[in-house]
Chain A
Amino acid sequence: MDTRDREHRHRSGEDHGHDRAQQEVPPDVALRVKALESLLIEKGLVDPAALDAIIDMYEHKVGPRNGARVVARAWSDPAYKKRLMADASAAIAEFGYTGRQGEHMVVVENTPKLHNLVVCTLCSCYPWTVLGLPPVWYKSAPYRSRAVIDPRGVLREFGLELGEDVEVRVWDSTSEMRYLVLPERPAGSEGMDEAALAELVTRDAMIGVAKVTLGKGRERP
């Protein structure tokens, strides 16, 4: 990202000729993190193997495929959908998806006349248990600032043009409630089983910046 490039240029310029304490801090952010980690390990405050386990969790176990399975089941099983809409935390826990940044879940359903969009204007709250860690754009100032004042403009940037007859609801995640969008099931998917349906569901559709299509919409069009 160019913010990081700017940061690097700024730091390397700034660190020359400053006081010794400043110079002893490695100017490069990767080195700074390494120094901090070494210090915390030496002090017995962290175990590096636990750090590896945390990273493994978010790189390989927790991610948007979790949410896609929840959505696919809601599309396939009316009784499950009913449970999901009534108590999302409990219904999602049926898959074993519980815990950090998904303690209190709410599912909001898209229909042909209603579109839901999720944001966190104050920080970057995001339902980790079902979507994993948030993408950079979700955490960025442009998205956080504009999603509430100009949701239709934001959606247009994502390639989604909504008619004036469609109601848009923006969910600003100001508390520990975490929001997951239940997208519309795409036309033409009637014969598909749950596993095939889950393949169609994208992270972006579960944030509310895209619709689910039959064209394997893993990417923004």
Chain B
Amino acid sequence: MNGIHDMGGMHGMGAIEYEAREPVFHARWEARVLALNLAMGAWHKWNIDATRHAIELIPAGEYLRMSYYERWIARLVTLSLQARLLSRAEVESGRPDPGSAKLSPALAPSGVEPMLGRGAPANRDVTVAASFKAGDKVRARNIHPIGHTRLPRYARGRLGTIARDHGVYVFPDSRAHFLGENPQHLYSVRFAARELWGETASRRDSVYLDLWDDYLERA
């Protein structure tokens, strides 16, 4: 979707505010929100692409006003409602619905390190033909899907060169909507800065994006 989250190349966002000796969390609630999101992920009711899309669905004005971890609260509530782990009445009252089933087992403390250490690899050991190889000239397709996509607007329609084939990976545009993994080749694609931003960009500079087969066409 052409949302506010897709902000590469935008102007007007202000100066970068650097904080020296920044703490990992600025308040205890931020730490709890991170932990709640990770612990709830252990139910495997959603996936990382769905979590990103849930944040993209926050209305643009809200998105800009919220801090990072406030967006994570909104996302956790959205996903929990979608997955029916919570009801709207429960979110509003803060109390379990009368007679609601108690699920188990929740992620245990002993399960935390193995879960984080394992992560959730996105590569898939399946044979899928690659449409491109290193050195091929490609054009990022001029598409504007209304759902989740990892093809930023600033690269659409632009010419690039395949720098490397990473192998076969889950396609976020499908998995974010629980429409299957649709695994396909993922490439590192080099775009000259001048192709993206015009003649004022430095001649030497470039931007590399990781793009899936379905985002690309032969140039």
Contacts and interface: CB of A to CB of B under 8 A. Distances in A.
A47 B8 contact: no
Interface string B88-121: 0011111110001011101111011101111111
B55 A123 contact: yes
Contact of A54 (B34, B52, B91, B196): B34
Interface stretch (A77-85, A151-159, A191-199): A151-159
Contacts of A25: 92, 94
Interface string B21-33: 1101111110111
A52 interface: yes
Nearest to B5: A122
A175 B210 contact: yes
A169 B16 contact: no
Contacts of A186: none
B57 interface: no
Contacts of B32: 33-34, 37, 51, 55
A141 B154 contact: no
Contact of A46 (B25, B36, B118, B119): B36
Contacts of B28: 30
Nearest to B30: A33
A119 B9 CA distance: 12
Interface in A115-167: 119, 121-124, 132-133, 135-137, 139-149, 151-152, 154, 157-158, 164, 166-167
Given A54-B34, A59-B24, A139-B68, A172 B208 contact: yes
Contacts of A62: 116
A135 B19 CA distance: 8
B118 A59 contact: no
A16 interface: no
B208 A170 contact: yes
Contact of B119 (A53, A57, A63, A99): A99
Contacts of A122: 5-6, 8, 52, 150, 152
A135 B36 CA distance: 20
Given A39-B86, A45-B85, A175 B116 contact: no
A154 B90 CA distance: 45
A35 B94 contact: yes
Contacts of B27: 30
A184 interface: no
Contact of A99 (B96, B117, B151): B117
A51 B39 contact: yes
A33 to B, nearest CB: 4
A24 B205 contact: no
A102 interface: yes
Given A30-B29, A173-B210, A54 B38 contact: yes
A28 to B, nearest CB: 9
B94 A7 contact: no
A54 B31 CA distance: 9
A103 B70 contact: no
A86 interface: no
Contacts of A100: 38, 115-120
16 contacts: A25-B94, A43-B96, A54-B112, A55-B32, A62-B116, A101-B119, A103-B119, A119-B8, A121-B8, A137-B17, A141-B7, A141-B14, A145-B13, A164-B202, A172-B152, A172-B209
Interface of A: 1, 3-4, 6-7, 10, 21, 24-25, 29-30, 32-40, 42-47, 49-55, 57-59, 62-63, 98-104, 106, 119, 121-124, 132-133, 135-137, 139-149, 151-152, 154, 157-158, 164, 166-177, 219-220
Given A42-B95, A100-B118, A175-B172, 16 more contacts: A1-B17, A1-B67, A25-B94, A39-B90, A39-B95, A43-B86, A44-B103, A47-B107, A54-B34, A54-B35, A103-B119, A146-B16, A148-B207, A158-B16, A167-B204, A219-B21
